[in-house]
Amino acid sequence: MAPHAEPEALTDTSAIVLNDPVLSNGETHPIFTLDDVLPHRQKSTPPSRGVAAFSEADMFKSKGALKEPKAKRWDHRLSAESRARTASSLKGAMKFFKPDTISLCGGLPSSDYFPFEELSAKVPIVPKFSEDETAKSGKHFSSGKYDAREGKSFLDLSIALNYGQAMGPGALVRFLTEHTEIVHHPPYSDWDVCLTAGSTSALEIALRMFTEKGHYVLTEEYTFSTAIETVSPLGCKMLGINMDADGMLPDHLDNVLSTWDESARKAPKPFLVYTVPTGQNPTASTQSLERRRQLYTLAEKHDLFILEDEPYYFLQMDSYVSGQTHSVPTPFKPAAVADFLGNLVPSYLSIDTSGRVLRLDSFSKIIAPGSRCGWVTGSKQIVERFMRHNEVSAQNPAGFAMIHLYNLLEENWGHRGFLEWLMYIRAEYTRRRDIIINACEQHLPTEICSWVAPRAGMFHWVKVDVTKHPLYESRRKPDGSVDHPTLLKIEEAMFLAAAEQSVLIARGSWFRAQRGSDTELFFRTTFAAAPADKMVEAVRRVGTAIRKEFDLDATPGASQNGHAR
Amino acid sequence: MAPHAEPEALTDTSAIVLNDPVLSNGETHPIFTLDDVLPHRQKSTPPSRGVAAFSEADMFKSKGALKEPKAKRWDHRLSAESRARTASSLKGAMKFFKPDTISLCGGLPSSDYFPFEELSAKVPIVPKFSEDETAKSGKHFSSGKYDAREGKSFLDLSIALNYGQAMGPGALVRFLTEHTEIVHHPPYSDWDVCLTAGSTSALEIALRMFTEKGHYVLTEEYTFSTAIETVSPLGCKMLGINMDADGMLPDHLDNVLSTWDESARKAPKPFLVYTVPTGQNPTASTQSLERRRQLYTLAEKHDLFILEDEPYYFLQMDSYVSGQTHSVPTPFKPAAVADFLGNLVPSYLSIDTSGRVLRLDSFSKIIAPGSRCGWVTGSKQIVERFMRHNEVSAQNPAGFAMIHLYNLLEENWGHRGFLEWLMYIRAEYTRRRDIIINACEQHLPTEICSWVAPRAGMFHWVKVDVTKHPLYESRRKPDGSVDHPTLLKIEEAMFLAAAEQSVLIARGSWFRAQRGSDTELFFRTTFAAAPADKMVEAVRRVGTAIRKEFDLDATPGASQNGHAR
């Protein structure tokens, strides 16, 4: 990959403020905004308060959204497994349920026997988001067993803690439908949402929906290691597309697909793309709007289907300035939400006129991984197939997670508070990004280490000039390269040298889409986990480890700062 | 099936009180009981309080358990998919973690940004289990973000709400290890436990571990519809073994396997058994210890692997006595826990000397379905393969569920309170079973409806003499039977007649292991869901519907009770 290319300007803000959507018949309809939520709710039917009640995005969409054209059909892209899925017999019986019906059908345990009378949480009130402020002034939100039945809310323990329909409870489907309109306003009408047990679960389901044994999945040349480890046991292979700091390179993708030789490759032409467009894991590359448009055009040309995995979408940052650290004021003062939204690079979902994108969102990185809760958004056909699989695997996110998320998002924060929270953690991660990059500038040997400062996400990807390693010189082949085992040996030595200094870093080869094809040396660090001072100390130690391992002079940066030991 | 056979005595209690285990070297060791938990904990290492810390059952087992012989190896039974799974690169790096290590490796978000300062729940205190009592006297249990770090507990929000290892947090692995010893005392040493996102998820993972396309899975001739719907898209088929009220018939199983003709069947001899031994769904059949031993002997003979799906294991009931209803005293007075445990039919896990059983437990039916949390127990080799899949799908139960379960089970109830709770809901379900069976005796036309009163679980399975339906007579073939579409038509008419009376029942054909092979007419009701009065009213309506549909005289039972309309 070419991480040194000067990144394109992420966004030209003027280009991103989207105009009101133009329909195929030439009409426009106004974009749904935060201010439209309340009036829209006031004239719409609220979510059902029944146990295991059916819901779908269409119940909660704005009129404008429903006017868009329909998505294409994807029957030719679905796997035999996905096509073979049938609806649950037992859940199907619910269509005969009338208000006076008594069900002896589904084995839903009586809520009399849920040993939880009330659940509550102490959560931050907008905008007092920091841990200290929450400890002082956070508010308790509670849910009783029968709040919904008593008209106090749309989700209570008797609903959330019982079995439910595969898409999740109506109260959360409504919230996510509105969120999708506010943030993405998809350019087709028949999209739907389904809650997931997190994006790891959603990705596995999606892969099984679209792949057969022997298929290739297109992705960035370095990609999320867990995705590689999910694809491989299915008998499929990742096919890495070359990338720069703006992600996958359209020319290379086009070339791979245009010259695909099925018999030479012993595989059909690939059509499934797995991509993390924003703050990509591990490289932190973030696709500009221009890049997304180019790749989407190729998706139309080659009839691709895109899995848009976006856990870090809202962690898009202001540019890094060497030596500076963005501060996060306490209490946090959110800027205008419209500016925040206007400055996010538009998603694939928001440019997807054909419905060829399944977007994976997750609460893991923006609320907590332990929510094991996310959601997918895509065409109704695709989301329906997804649900058929979901209901025979994880079924639903845990009710304990859903009730707490409902109280936080719907009863406490609302959409505006949620977006302000996202602005807050984006600011926090920006500060952390600044701290780690400043530390790298100070403590890593820049004669062999290079990087592009991340503009999104949680990761920092560092290239190390492997040719400067003593072992490289001794094993250099006539063409200037070394064999792969040597490369891995150097990488391992670097990893162990860091571990010897009591720092864990992630090895670049773990993320190589086609494992075993590395020719360069990288490591990934995260600025999400360790406290700021530990992060700086860890980078200092990594600098020491690399200098030792590469036989460089002792660490000038560290000694200047009195850290040398 | 033969549901009318007089059930074998479920348990001869004297046979079930297991003697102290005898090891292969002739030594015995005492069974681990409730009273051993505290002394054992006092001399053992407690679970780690680290984020994403590794744990396993071996850390928490009694000395006696560790002395048992080892399980066999199952490499020859694992699917290509399962064999291909590799450990997570990122999680593997944790083995280099030392106390002073700073990790820049895994993308675990800082708990600073979890917008939950405290979670609490109002839960019943032993033995005031009923809803009314809990509302009055239930106790609030809370977890703070850093309770574990502060030494106050073994699980807090900073751990539970972050990513974790695939087996789940140590505090819960310890609880389940002890629970397994107290209840099952497996007769081999190297068993392990792994938390699951519920048994639906666990079953899907287990099926993918053991099946290839084209395989048959052995099961009861009527089985859980969701299991059928999970197996089918994998390209596999269920193969139903004949059954009576004690479950699968050993002779038929032996015959099927002994006479298996791979070329005629176009499939390898099956080896995977999916069974719900207790309160089977849908038939409520419960395998006696004798039956379990016979089937396990066949498993040894034919080298089978058993998926023991046991959501209803603790809902084993006293016998039904016509016209009587067992009462549940308030406050509930639990009898001796040892008697309760001694009267449970032993599990397959407890007679599994080879380690050829993977047991699936679930909190869904005994705590709440919304926990989306269960656990599997099996040989270390099998549980390790399970974890490799788990970590790229649901990963873990939701942290929100785990922290509330931890507070309930570990901080409030303890093992004794948990077992007393199980005695309580068993008593409640016994009362409900009595109510529905009494209602059936009163309101169903017994000239065509017959059943065996359930001895476990949540379901009541009713056979209807299909030959008495008007359509049957008109379509009877020379051999006395009718074609399958006619049978389904009669079943549908019965279902719709009940729905017309505003009652939903579950159609027998949904549960037919080999769909489309029904020759008899059944329906399933549940006594878990509706309140008692509604349940009786629903059965009355079903009686009316069946009488109408079968052209029988008007309902004598109902008119005697003044319900006739």
CB-nearest to B372 from A88, A135, A396 is: A396
Residue in A104, A129, A370 nearest the CB of B503: A104
Chain A residue whose CA is closest to B125: A115
Q: Exposure of A38 by Cβ count < 10 A (0-12 exposed, 13-18 middle, 19+ buried)?
A: exposed
User: Mean pLDDT across the stretch B413-440?
Assistant: 97
- Is residue A325 classed exposed, middle or buried when 0-12, 13-18 and 19+ CB atoms within 10 A define those classes? middle
Any chain A CB within 8 A of the CB of B417? no
- When the candidates are 3.40.190.10, 3.40.640.10, 3.60.15.10, 1.10.150.80, the CATH number that belongs to A19-426 is 3.40.640.10
Question: C-alpha dihedral over B526, B529, B535, B539, to 10 degrees?
Answer: -30
| Average pLDDT estimate for A386-415 | 97
In order, the DSSP letters of A421-457 are: HHHHHHHHHHHHHHHHHHHHHHHS-TTTEE----SBS
- Residues with Cβ within 8 Å of B502's Cβ and at least 6 positions away in sequence, in order, are A98, A100, A101, A102, B541
Q: Give one DSSP letter per residue of B153-205, joined into a string.
A: -S--HHHHTS---TT--HHHHHHHHHHHHHHT--SSS-EEEEEES-HHHHHHH
Neighbours of B545 (CB within 10 A): 22
Q: Report the chain A residue with the minimal C-alpha distance to residue B236.
A: A81
Residue A548 has pLDDT above 60, yes or no: yes
Cα–Cα dist B501/B356, whole Å: 47
pLDDT score of B66: 95
Rounded average pLDDT over B106-120:
96
DSSP A408: I
- Pick the closest to residue A502 from B47, B90, B53, B105 (CA basis): B105
Chain A residues inside the 8 Å CB shell of B408: 115-116
Asked if A138 is an interface residue toward chain B (Cβ–Cβ < 8 A), one would say yes
Chain A, nearest residue to B401 by Cα: A400
Least Cα distance to B120 among A138, A126, A149 occurs for: A138
Residue A192, beta-bridge partner list = A378
The DSSP bridge partners found for residue A118 are: A144, B122
pLDDT digits (tens, 9 = 90+) for A409-419: 999 999 999 99
- The sign of the dihedral angle between the CA atoms of B31, B32, B36, B39 is positive
- Partner residue opposite A538 with nearest CB, options B104, B129, B425: B104
Give the nearest partner residue to B162 out of A90, A370, A459, using CB atoms: A370
Count, in order, helices (H) and strands (E) of chain A.
21, 17
Q: What is the ipTM of this complex?
A: 0.94
How confident is the model at residue A29, as a pLDDT? 73
Tokens, residue A74: 């994807």
DSSP string of B209-278, one letter each residue: HH--TT-EEEEESB--HHHHHHHGGGT-EEEEEPEETTEE-HHHHHHHHHT--HHHHTSPPP-EEEE--S
Q: Is B367 on the interface with A (CB under 8 A)?
A: yes
CB proximity list for A132: less than 8 A, separation 6 or greater: A330
Average pLDDT over residues B129-141: 94
Strand A247-248 with A272-275, pairing: unpaired
Comparing alpha-carbon positions, the chain B residue that sits nearest to A198 is: B394
Indicate if the pLDDT at residue A7 is higher than 50: no
Token pair of B329 as six digits: 């005293």
For B530, residues 6+ apart whose C-beta sits below 8 A from its C-beta are: A102, A103, A104, A110, B538
Torsion B203-B209-B211-B217 (CA) sign: negative
| β-strands A216-220, A237-241 pairing | parallel
Can you give the pLDDT at residue A493?
A: 98
**For position A18, what pLDDT does the model report?**
47
Chain A residues in contact with B111 (beta carbon < 8 A) = 368
Q: Residue A300: which of A323, A273, A321 has the closest Cα?
A: A273
Counting one residue from chain A and one from chain B, the pairs whose CB atoms sit within 8 A come to 396
Q: What confidence tier does B89 reach under pLDDT thresholds 50, 70, 90?
A: confident
CA distances from A564 to A435, A537, A557, A559, B99 (A): 19, 11, 9, 5, 21
Chain B contact for A305, CB < 8 A? no
The nearest CA of chain B is from the CA of A64 a distance in Å of: 34
In whole angstroms, give the CA distance from residue A28 to residue B371.
Answer: 45
DSSP conformation letters of A501-565: TTEE-EEGGGGBSSTT---SEEEEEESSSS-HHHHHHHHHHHHHHHHHHTTPPP-HHHHHTT---
Cβ atoms of A518 and A512 within 8 Å: the answer is yes
| Among A432-446, B115-129, B385-399, B551-565, the least confident range | B551-565
* pLDDT score recorded for residue A95: 85
Q: Which chain B residue has the Cα nearest residue A436?
A: B104
* CA–CA distances in Å: residue B291 to residues A224, A481, B246, B296, B459: 49, 67, 7, 8, 21
With beta carbons less than 8 A apart as the criterion, state whether A47 and A55 touch: yes
**Total residue length of chain B:** 565
pLDDT of residue A396: 94
**Chain B contact for A287, CB < 8 A?**
no
Query: How much is the pLDDT for B7?
Result: 44
Cβ–Cβ contact B516 with A under 8 A: no
- Return the structure tokens found at B446: 């017994």
Of the listed ranges A100-109, A500-509, B554-563, the least confidently predicted one is: B554-563
d(CA B234, CA B207): 9
Tokens found for residue B253: 């199983």
Question: CA quadruple B197, B203, B208, B210: dihedral positive or negative?
Answer: positive
Q: Report the SS3 class of residue A168.
A: coil
Chain B nearest-CA distance from A282, in A, is: 10
On whether any CB of chain B is under 8 Å from the CB of A537, the answer is yes
Question: Model confidence over B294-311: pLDDT tens digits?
Answer: 999 999 999 999 999 999
Query: Token digits for A224?
Result: 């999320």
* pLDDT tops 90 at residue B110: yes
Average pLDDT over chain B, rounded to whole? 93
User: Measured between CB atoms, does A235 come within 8 Å of chain B?
Assistant: yes
Judge whether A434 and A531 are in contact, CB under 8 Å: no
In contact, A404 and B116? CB cutoff 8 Å: yes
| pLDDT in the model for residue A26 | 65
Q: Is residue B9's pLDDT more than 50?
A: no
pLDDT band at B555 (very low <50, low <70, confident <90, very high): low
Asked whether residue B81 carries a pLDDT value surpassing 50, the answer given is: yes
Residues of A in contact with B428 (CB under 8 A): 112-113
Q: Where do we find the tokens 């073939």?
A: B477
Report the residue from B368, B396, B506 with minimal CB separation from A161.
Answer: B368
Query: Where along chain B do its domains lie?
Result: 13-96+110-426, 465-560
Q: What is the pLDDT of residues A206-229, one digit of tens each?
A: 999 999 999 999 999 999 999 999
Q: pLDDT tier at A196 (50, 70, 90 boundaries)?
A: very high
Q: Token digits for B327? A: 């009462």
CA distance A264 to A275: 26
Interface of A with B in 20-79 (CB under 8 A): none
Dist. CA A457–CA A460, nearest whole Å: 9
The pLDDT assigned to A561 comes to 41
The average confidence (pLDDT) of chain A is 93
Q: What is the mean pLDDT of residues B454-478?
A: 97
CB atoms within 10 A of CB A321: 12
Q: At what angle do helices B484-500 and B532-549 cross, to 10 degrees?
A: 130
What pLDDT is recorded for position A6? 43
For B:1-20, CB contacts with A below 8 A are none
- If pLDDT is split at 50, 70 and 90, which confidence band does A435 have? very high
- pLDDT mean over B208-232: 97
Residues of B in contact with A94 (CB under 8 A): 504
What pLDDT score does B10 carry?
Answer: 45
Among the partner residues B124, B233, B370, nearest to A399 by beta-carbon distance = B370
Q: How many residues are recorded in chain A?
A: 565
pLDDT in tens, B427-465: 999 999 999 999 999 999 999 999 999 999 999 999 999
pLDDT band for position A22 (50/70/90)? low
Give the tokens for residue A518. Answer: 């590395």
Nearest-CB residue to A163 (from B160, B369, B499): B369
Indicate whether A372 pLDDT > 90. Answer: yes
Q: At what angle do helices B199-210 and B380-390 cross, to 10 degrees?
A: 110
Closest chain B residue to the Cα of A112, Cα to Cα: B131
Euclidean distance between CA atoms B427 and B261, whole angstroms: 47
At A21 the pLDDT is 58
* pLDDT of B321 higher than 50: yes
Query: CB-based contact (8 Å) between A499 and chain B?
Result: yes
- For residue B556, is the peptide bond before it cis, meaning its omega torsion is within 30 degrees of 0? no
| Gap from A54 CA to chain B (nearest CA, Å) | 17
Q: Do B104 and A526 touch (CB under 8 A)?
A: yes
Query: pLDDT-based confidence at A310, cuts 50/70/90?
Result: very high
A456: left (phi over 0), alpha (psi -120 to 50) or beta: beta
Just give the CATH number of B13-96+110-426.
3.40.640.10
State both tokens at B486: 């006619």
Tell me, yes or no, if B427 comes closer than 8 A to chain A by beta carbon. Answer: no
Indicate if the pLDDT at residue B492 is higher than 50: yes
| Residues above pLDDT 70, as percent of chain B | 93
Give tens-digit pLDDT for B172-215. 999 999 999 999 999 999 999 999 999 999 999 999 999 999 99
**Which among B162, B281, B389 is the nearest to A369, CB-wise?**
B162
A187 cis-preceded (ω within 30 degrees of 0): no
- Quick: pLDDT tens for A43-92: 999 999 999 999 999 999 999 999 999 999 999 999 999 999 999 888 88
Residue B8 confidence (pLDDT) above 80: no
Å from B65 to nearest chain A CA?
Answer: 32
What does the pLDDT average to over A161-177? 97
